[in-house]
Structure 1
Amino acid sequence: MKSARILVAALALALAGCSVLPSWMGGGPDKPKAAELTSNPASLGVRQAWTARIGPVDIPVAVNVQGTTVTLASSDGSIAALDAASGRELWRTSAGGPIAAGVGSDGRVSAVVTTGGDVVAFRDGKELWRQRLNVSGYTAPFVAGGRVFVLLADRSVVAFDGQNGRRLWTQTRPSQPLSLKYPGTMLAVGDTLVVGLAGRLVGMNPNTGAPRWDVAVATPRGINDVERLADLVGRASRVADIVCARAFQTAVGCVDAGRGAVVWTKSANGFEGVDGDGSFVFGTEADSTVIAWKRDSGDKAWTSDLLLNRGLSAPLVLGRAVVVGDDFGYVHLLAREDGKLLNRLATDGTPIMGAPVAAGTTLVVVTKGGGVFGFVPQ
């Protein structure tokens, strides 16, 4: 049965030998001691501009950014759009049940996946349509070109008409024995839909789902199915046609999506997505080491163990800073050139959920306690 192929990420991590888990994955009091905070130099001026609330967040949320509007969801089914400049609520609605993945949006249509197995689309806070999925999904839908694309837990991909929910196509692949209950990778490069399927990046025709190219970021290795897990997870970093992504506890690599060719792959042990710019790709490892790889070669530019074992989020590149959140409600801004601490920001003391995002000039983070915080340059 397909459901038997899905492994909860916390179990996979534990069995695979990872000793440090973020709190939402089941990290407990027996995990390694977190690094003590050093003094805050506050050499990069940032201030809290506003706060809002969304509701409890027990999943790694995907905060969608369209211009200066951020759209996000809570685990209990609330979905809201906020003005990033002021924190003002533009609209709020409910998916009618707990949410497994969200939010995806193109600025007009927003979509989530519920734990009950529905994909639900909204416009301006009003439900447009909902469709039942054969298998649940843990990746925020990708909304583009008038379509809603959904990556399912068995790593099949389904496309729906964004206006009426009509199913357009389904692309399935031979399923691996186990899959992670964790967000996967999906984005667009030109007119190609790029999706992480197992340890591979696959370029698809968005009109038909037909594959255009298929390359390996990581090769599964190990003596059992758990050790061989190599799903691509979390946010990818795209600069022009180059897409860089993380394979669960295996590797970080970059692919030329224009040619469908691997640029480089490097061994890495993490489970959060990556971010980057034209010079570097940044990632957080399972033990909360922060690493910068050179984008052209994959060579390490620097590593930082300043935040060791603090349960770091995926990073965000923001100007001259690399931003990460931790399990203690802090947001850390590290220098993109060398990883030194520039500033530290406090939220509500609960873990930062999902990756920080930038909307206009505002840095937005979401906490497990349901807090939404907007920070701006000082």
Structure 2
Amino acid sequence: MDTKYKIPFALAILSAALMGCSSNKIKEEKIKPNPLPKLAQATSLVPVFSQNVSSTSEEDPLRLRLDSDNGVIFLLDPKGTVAAYKGKQRLWETRVSKNGLSSGVTAADGLVIAGNKKGQLFAVDQATGEQKWVAQLSGAVISPALVQAGRVIAIANDGTVFAFDESTGQQAWTYKMTNAAFSLRGQAAPVSIDARTIVVATSNGYVYAIDSLTGIPRMQRRVAVSEGHSDIQRLVDIDGDPVVAGQYLVTNSFQGQVTVLDLAAQQVVWSEDVSSITRPEVADNKVFVAQTDGKLTAYDLTTGQQLWQNEQLLNRNLSNPVMLGQNLVVGDLDGMLHLINPDSGQLVGRSKTSGEVRSLRVIDQQLYASTRKGALSVWQNR
């Protein structure tokens, strides 16, 4: 059902590296990740919940995030089940799809929402696990949905935004974004700007603001620019979720820029060249970006001034960074959760989960982590 030509991130990197090579024999050089630096007095996190589900393909960059609502943790298994946990107790588990699940879960307004690669979107009752409705999109659902203003809003992999009535699953509206015909396999999730407006991002470097009730567009703005010559070099996908920080919208793009957009003026405040496929973090007037090469960089939110850059985690396939208490946390390919001083960029601690960390988020001062190997866990500060 996908209409765009999607390529895995690792293949894009390799292809770009080989562009312009004139030799008939190409020897692939495996990039080695930086060894872990030694830490003097390392801070660590305490696990408070863990559950193992099925692993995902190394080539498919799915971010199967967990969610929480009213003290209950909701998660999915890529093979097709959704489950709810209260502490270590499983409240229910429901098989919703014979074709697996691919989107990560969203829990809100008494519903749990998940999607699959066949374009099916499933709504399950939070309390009982009973399936409430199923809706059909025009392409694979690989990013979490958003529940807002009585709508369940999800994006198909062909760039079409769908809104469904949260009670009945009836389609309310659709909006077709202009997407690149050639892109990475990934999709940013829809994000709320205010009670009536969402923002969605595309594979060709644009963001759109849309009325969540009617589907009427309110803004269209380019926030990433490509300077490449080949199809691979021109990729500027926004695969990490945009971040709304007061009057600003912050985005990252692959082979593009980190950009801060003033939502009221609909003008770019500043933009700096970086390559990132993950969500930026914004805290204490700083923007934190995990780049595709493993550099971790902090910028001033309002001026764009670079505050610091950490290169100790080069080539470690960093996850999105998040703020947990007083520390910045980022995961890597070995399942390490690195704790970083957000003022200096200095590594101050680490903990370990299992498998490449694909998604981090913070809910109620707890860290929710998911990995490619299917290790889903919740952590808190010691």
- TM-score, scaled relative to structure 2: 0.88
CA positional deviation for 1:30? 5.0
Give the aligned partner of residue 105 of structure 1. Answer: 107
Is residue 144 of structure 1 aligned with residue 148 of structure 2? yes
Partner of 1:219: 225
Match of residue 32 from structure 2: 33
AA in 1 matched with 2:356? P
On the 8 A contact 1:87/1:374 being kept in 2, the answer is: no
In structure 1, how many angstroms separate the alpha carbons of the residues matched to 2:261 and 2:53?
Answer: 36
Quick one: distance in 2 between partners of 1:174 and 1:49? 43
Unaligned stretches of 5+ residues in structure 2: 20-27
Give the partner amino acid of 2:364.
G
Distance 1:291 1:90, change over 3 A: farther
User: What is the identity percentage for the equivalent residue pairs of Structure 1 and Structure 2?
Assistant: 24
| Distance in 2, Cα, partners of 1:93 & 1:37 | 40
Q: Distance in 1 between matches of 2:92 and 2:329?
A: 28
Kept in 2, the 8 Å contact 1:138–1:153? The answer is yes
Q: 2-side partners of 1:157 and 1:369: how far apart? A: 30
Q: Secondary structure at the match of 1:311?
A: coil
Q: How does 1:50-129 map to 2 (within 5 A)?
A: 50-58=49-57, 59-66=62-69, 68-83=71-86, 86-96=87-97, 97-124=99-126, 125-129=129-133
Displacement of 1:64: 2.7
Task: Classify 1:118/1:2 alpha carbon distance in 2 versus 1 (closer, same or farther; 3 Å).
Answer: closer
Quick check: 1:192 aligned with 2:197?
Answer: yes
Q: AA paired with 1:71?
A: F
- Residues 240-262 of structure 1, C-alpha deviations (whole Å, 9 max, x = no match): 23221111221111122344332
- Provide the alpha-carbon RMSD of the alignment: 2.4
Q: Count residues in correspondence.
A: 365
AA partner of residue 3 (structure 2): S
User: C-alpha distance in 2, partners of 1:211/1:155?
Assistant: 14
Where does residue 205 of structure 1 map in the other structure? 211
2:112 and 2:326 map into 1 onto residues whose CA distance is 31
1:167-186 equivalent positions in 2, closer than 5 A: 167-186=171-190
Q: Deviations over 1:219-266 (max 9, x none)?
A: 233223332221211233322232211112211111223443322211
Classify the secondary structure of the residue corresponding to 2:54: coil
1:18, distance to aligned residue in structure 2 (A): 9.3
Partner of 2:11, secondary structure, is helix
Contact 2:335/2:357, CA 8 A, preserved across alignment: yes
Task: Give the 3 Å change call, closer, same or farther, for CA 339–225 of structure 1 in structure 2.
Answer: same
Deviations 1:143-202 (A, max 9, x none): 222211111222121111111111111111344222332131420111211111231111
Q: Pick closer, same or farther for the CA change 1:280–1:118 going to 2, 3 Å.
A: same
Q: Quick check: 1:73–1:102 contact (8 Å CA) kept in 2?
A: yes
Match of 1:366 in 2: 370
Q: Point out where structure 1 has 5 or more consecutive residues left out of the alignment.
A: 20-28
Q: Which moved more, 1:309-318 or 1:42-51?
A: 42-51
Instruction: Report the CA distance between 1:333 and its aligned residue.
Output: 0.5
The answer (yes or no) to whether the contact 1:67–1:360 under 8 Å persists in 2 is no
User: What is the match of residue 307 of structure 1?
Assistant: 313
SS of match in other structure, 2:33:
coil
